[in-house]
Amino acid sequence: MHSPQAVIFDMDGTLIDTERVSQTAWRRAAADLGIDVPERIWNAFVGCSMPDAHAMVDEEFGDPALTDRLFAHQVDLYYEIREQALEPCTGALDALRALAEAGVTVALATTTIREHAIPLMDRFGMTPFFSSMTFGDEIAHPKPAPDIYLEAARRLGLDPVACVAVEDSVNGALAALTAGMTTFMVPEWATPTPELTKRCAGMLGSLSELPALVLGR
């Protein structure tokens, strides 16, 4: 591939292992409430907006009050577990450092709102690597709509086709591809379809693989 003008990263599950914490909290919350949630719903939650996730559970169980209790309990557990167990994803800091040292512009495009995302980025020393950050509360439509990637490219003054996107979720990868970006996935909790796999530039085992692919080394 030609050297990109920028690499734009998702945050949750891509740079910071919030998905592991989130999935643990979801499963524990469901168990505490005695709810048997199908695995397909947990998988669909990866890269999903909260309103869409809420609608999925409502449709599955037909009990909005139960859905509210599940989501409230998950939030409490998430913050409890996050304080103890949250870590950067494998290779994340090394990948950011390698790209920055090579002079590659690095940006962020996360569905998470600014007030929640910045403390996490600061916690792991990631914030200084980014030339630009775009957050979920700054765009009209969440992933899989391409809005956040189009806005991230606009803020950089770049054509989206000149950018590489890095994602862990199906919705995120679809958003980046629709925006016209070369897209790499690092799937852990999500299961990409064969069609999505073909559309992406690569499926990575970790971010440790990314710099060599981007820099052509």
Q: Where are the domains of the chain?
A: 6-17+87-215, 19-85
CATH tag for 6-17+87-215 (out of 3.40.50.1000, 3.90.79.10, 3.40.50.20, 3.40.50.620): 3.40.50.1000
| Residue 25 burial (C-beta neighbours within 10 Å; 0-12, 13-18, 19+) | buried
Would the pLDDT of 3 be above 70? yes
Look at residue 55 in the predicted model and tell me its pLDDT: 93
Long-range contacts of residues 31-38, Cβ cutoff 8 Å, at least 24 apart: 32/73, 33/66, 33/69, 33/70, 33/73, 35/61, 35/66, 35/70
Which residues does residue 108 pair with via DSSP β-bridges, in sequence order? 9, 133
Would the pLDDT of 1 be above 70? no
pLDDT of residue 217: 62
Give the model's confidence band at 49: pLDDT under 50 very low, under 70 low, under 90 confident, else very high: confident
User: Pairing mode, if any, of strands 132-135 and 105-110?
Assistant: parallel
Q: Is the peptide bond prior to 38 cis by the omega test (within 30 degrees of 0)?
A: no
Closest of 69, 72, 70, 45 to residue 56, by C-alpha: 45
pTM recorded for the entire structure: 0.87
Beta-carbon neighbour count of residue 45 at 10 Å? 24
Which pLDDT belongs to residue 191? 83
Task: List CB contacts of 10: < 8 A, sequence separation 6 or more.
Answer: 47, 108, 109, 110, 111, 165, 166, 167, 168, 169, 172
The rounded percent of the chain whose pLDDT value lies above 70 is: 99
Q: Which residue has the tokens 């559309």?
A: 199
pLDDT-based confidence at residue 19 (cuts at 50, 70, 90):
confident
Using DSSP's 3-state secondary structure scheme, residue 105 falls into strand
**Average pLDDT of span 18-45:** 91
* pLDDT value at residue 152: 98
Collapse the DSSP code of 212 into the 3-class scheme (helix H, G, I; strand E, B; otherwise coil) and give the result.
helix
Average pLDDT over residues 43-47: 80
Residue with tokens 């950050």: 133
pLDDT at 45: 84
